[in-house]
Structure 1
Amino acid sequence: MDPNPIRTPEDTRGQLADYGHWLNDQQATRTFAPVFYLHGHILTLHAYYRGGLYIIELGELCFDTNYWTSSGAKRIQSCLMQFWFLLTLESDIFGHFCDVSKKPRSFIFSPKGKGDDNGKGDSKIEVLYSVSQDVKDVKDGAALFCIKETIARYSYMIGRHVHLFKGTYNGCAAVLKLSWTPVNRLPEGAAYAILNKRPVECIPEIFSSGLLISNLNGYRLEFVLMEDCGQPMAEYLKGKANDQKDELVSRFVEQLTLCLAQANDTGVLHRDISAGNVCVKNNKVYVIDWGCAKVIGWGTAEDAARDTGPTQPSHIDVAEQWGFNATTVGQVEVAKDPFTGTPLFMGIPMLSSSPIRGILDDLESILYVVMDAVRPAGTNRDDVQGFKFLDSPSLAITRWGLIQGGGILLKGFSVDGISPSLKKLIRVMRRFLFEPENKVMNHQLWSNKKFVRRANWDAAPEFMHPKAVELLKEDNGQLKRPAEDEINAGPFKKLAL
């Protein structure tokens, strides 16, 4: 409420926006946050959608008790009737609401999709409803996901907006991910649909996925119900003895390189390799969170229409199943290449906003994840030179300085006190990434945005899975990079920004 009858003060607008953000953040499937605002004698509805704000004026709600007229009473009655009408609308008409008084404990999924007989669109499985009490009887084969805890995650009002829940699904530890994603970006479920058509190891098992809302003010709401993949690699290694770490880290790096190589061969680039997205369960590493992934080769209509192999659907089929335009999404994702990812774990060219992005950039991120995971327990990431983030260009130059020598690199990331075998692993990865002809890359790595990096394939067998070497070396390090017309994606570059 605000007594000012003429205008809305800026600080009040800020408080309303904060409240709208809080509602959207607390209730994962809410399509918008309605705030009823009484200023002066006027009642308005502020609807905070994820893509913008809509204001509906409902009418007068206050009157002077010393001056009563029948017309004033009618105005008040009209306003109250509009207000009550909005409050009593069914949720599927007015928008999806969770119980505002209690946190939901379970989500119930429909037993089958809405696709046609040919199987197209069968990923469009809907959440029937969320419930705030335990459910004992789930009928008609519906799937029940029971929430145990919410995974804390900061969200913004623009861009991707993600909610994560840990719980159980059919007795298995599982994670439910609800994502509000701009409709011109690739849905995470579509990336998994492609990855799962070929053997790609070390990715989560997907129990169910689909669209809840296909387009609401430029955003889609999708869900992915997946296996719980354990804890981040750094946390997993904390309780391990040094000799165990030596064996485990070497094995994890092999598994990671195989996963990324198989995904790249399938046509998917992760683009957000970070400490939080590399997890371990039962001594097996997993690459999670493919929400920032890009399908390689969707820059043109011709690319989008082609088949990528006899065991995969064509790109057009995937796009139809998930309700988006493959060509448009492909061009937007190419334009987004330099801006996608977690800055602390981005490669040097990406920190320098290079428009050329490929698997080598993800493999460089693996190097930083490894050094972060084996860092001694007494050090803080913020105090480590190689992770000290002022801005992206500064971090790029700092890291370029650190790669000039193996010892400098180890000291700069505070890992100079680790075992000889781990030091050797990091030095071999450095040689693979930054010494293509046994000579350290010069300043063009960060200063020239069109610099095409190459790898030292002689070093690859010393740390990489043999199958990964076989898959990646076929392309001599170019690895399905975007064509020049994709890099200069014209109006789509502006759209992505």
Structure 2
Amino acid sequence: MSGIHSAYTDITNVISQTVACLAEAANAGVLHRDISAGNITIRDGQIRVIDWGCAKLLNTNLPGIKEVASEWGFDLDEIKENDKACNGIIGTPAFMSIRVLLGHPTRCLIDDIESLFYVVLQALSYYSHGSSLFAEPQVSKNTLAALAKVGLVANRESYLRILGIKKCPDNVKVQLDTLRQLLFCRDNQFIGGELIENQSETRIIYLNLMRRLMGNELFERVCRVPAGSSNA
């Protein structure tokens, strides 16, 4: 089994399968909350999201939650106990969403997908340099880390260049741009300031962008309409 750093030629598959996995889990009432490079593994071309110990159960009564727990190998009772001991900023700081770094208490699917965006950027940086320029922020500096991420993703044309990423296949860039649009834009306008200022989550999961990320087959299998989503 290998990780994302060894999957340069298959990053589009990593993105589509991971987004599908996270969406399916969210539909069943589970958020991962610690998406990182070490928690995405690959075996025989199949992507597996592991280490669900920091997960959040949104609703233990939703149908399908036991099947999701069995498929991805986590214990529902253990997650319930861990959640009691965790605070709102649980996760790996380098991959935390901007809103989580700023200490906002609510988490949703879009935070997990934002973490995937940073994982892919780190992997591409690793391929370009043999090591990652994607810094691990200190917990005491979370606000500065959040502001740095807003600056990083503000410009569609420069976020790869800022990280010194010179090698990025066209199909990977298309998916990264789609992720950026889903996570940081509304009506094609950048909303970084809104992410910093607003106390409540205002982002919408656009189903057309989710379909573009997953592909038609995975999208049709996985996506019921999540809360806060739009077909626009």
- Normalised-by-shorter TM-score class: 0.7 to 0.9
Give the structure 2 partner of residue 346 of structure 1: 96
Decide which structure has greater strand share.
Answer: 1
Task: Report the Cα offset of residue 279 of structure 1.
Answer: 0.9
SS for the counterpart of 2:11 is helix
Q: Is residue 269 of structure 1 aligned with residue 31 of structure 2?
A: yes
**Rounded Cα–Cα distance in structure 2 between residues aligned with 1:254 and 1:461:** 9
Q: Is residue 258 of structure 1 aligned with residue 20 of structure 2?
A: yes
Give the structure 2 partner of residue 309 of structure 1: 63
| Amino-acid identity (%) | 25
Q: 5+ unaligned residues in a row in structure 2: which ranges?
A: 68-75
**Rounded Cα–Cα distance in structure 2 between residues aligned with 1:367 and 1:294:** 20
Is the Cα–Cα contact under 8 Å of residues 54 and 83 in structure 2 kept in the other structure? no
Q: Is residue 440 of structure 1 aligned with residue 190 of structure 2?
A: yes
* Number of equivalenced pairs: 217
Letter of the structure 1 residue corresponding to residue 188 of structure 2:
N
Decide which structure has greater helix share.
Answer: 2
Task: Report the Cα offset of residue 268 of structure 1.
Answer: 1.3
Taking structure 1 as the reference length, what is the TM-score of the superposition?
A: 0.40
Give the structure 2 partner of residue 360 of structure 1: 110
Taking structure 2 as the reference length, what is the TM-score of the superposition?
A: 0.80
Which has the bigger relative contact order, CA under 8 A and spacing at least 6?
A: 2
SS for the counterpart of 2:48 is strand
- Which of these residues, 218, 223, 232, is aligned with residue 471 of structure 1? 223
**Rounded Cα–Cα distance in structure 2 between residues aligned with 1:419 and 1:462:** 17
Is the Cα–Cα contact under 8 Å of residues 258 and 465 in structure 1 kept in the other structure? no
Is the Cα–Cα contact under 8 Å of residues 89 and 105 in structure 2 kept in the other structure? no
**Rounded Cα–Cα distance in structure 1 between residues aligned with 2:51 and 2:33:** 10
Task: Report the Cα offset of residue 472 of structure 1.
Answer: 5.5
SS for the counterpart of 1:443 is helix
Give the structure 2 partner of residue 232 of structure 1: 3
Structure 1 residues 401 and 322 mapped into 2: Cα distance closer, same or farther (>3 Å)? closer
- Which of these residues, 147, 152, 173, is aligned with residue 397 of structure 1? 147
Give the structure 1 partner of residue 84 of structure 2: 332
Give the structure 2 partner of residue 175 of structure 1: none
Q: 5+ unaligned residues in a row in structure 1: which ranges?
A: 1-229, 298-303, 314-320, 479-497
Q: Could you report, residue by residue, the CA deviation over 1:420-452 in whole angstroms, capped at 9, with x for unpaired residues? A: 222222111101111132211141212333343
Task: Report the Cα offset of residue 388 of structure 1.
Answer: 5.3
Task: Report the Cα offset of residue 377 of structure 1.
Answer: 4.2
Give the structure 2 partner of residue 80 of structure 1: none
Task: Report the Cα offset of residue 379 of structure 1.
Answer: 4.7
SS for the counterpart of 1:407 is coil
SS for the counterpart of 2:47 is strand
Residue pairs, 1:69-218, within 5 angstroms = none
Give the structure 2 partner of residue 424 of structure 1: 174
Is the Cα–Cα contact under 8 Å of residues 360 and 477 in structure 1 kept in the other structure? no
Q: If you compute each CA radius of gyration, which structure gives the higher value, 1 or 2?
A: 1
Is the Cα–Cα contact under 8 Å of residues 374 and 418 in structure 1 kept in the other structure? yes
Is the Cα–Cα contact under 8 Å of residues 436 and 455 in structure 1 kept in the other structure? no
Q: Could you report, residue by residue, the CA deviation over 1:369-405 in whole angstroms, capped at 9, with x for unpaired residues? A: 1112222342532xx2x53525211111011012211
Is the Cα–Cα contact under 8 Å of residues 389 and 395 in structure 1 kept in the other structure? yes
Task: Report the Cα offset of residue 331 of structure 1.
Answer: 7.5
Task: Report the Cα offset of residue 345 of structure 1.
Answer: 0.6
Give the structure 1 partner of residue 131 of structure 2: 380
Q: Which aligned segments of 4 or more residues in structure 1 are displaced greater than 6 angstroms?
A: none
**Rounded Cα–Cα distance in structure 2 between residues aligned with 1:462 and 1:310:** 25
Is the Cα–Cα contact under 8 Å of residues 32 and 54 in structure 2 kept in the other structure? yes
Structure 1 residues 388 and 432 mapped into 2: Cα distance closer, same or farther (>3 Å)? same
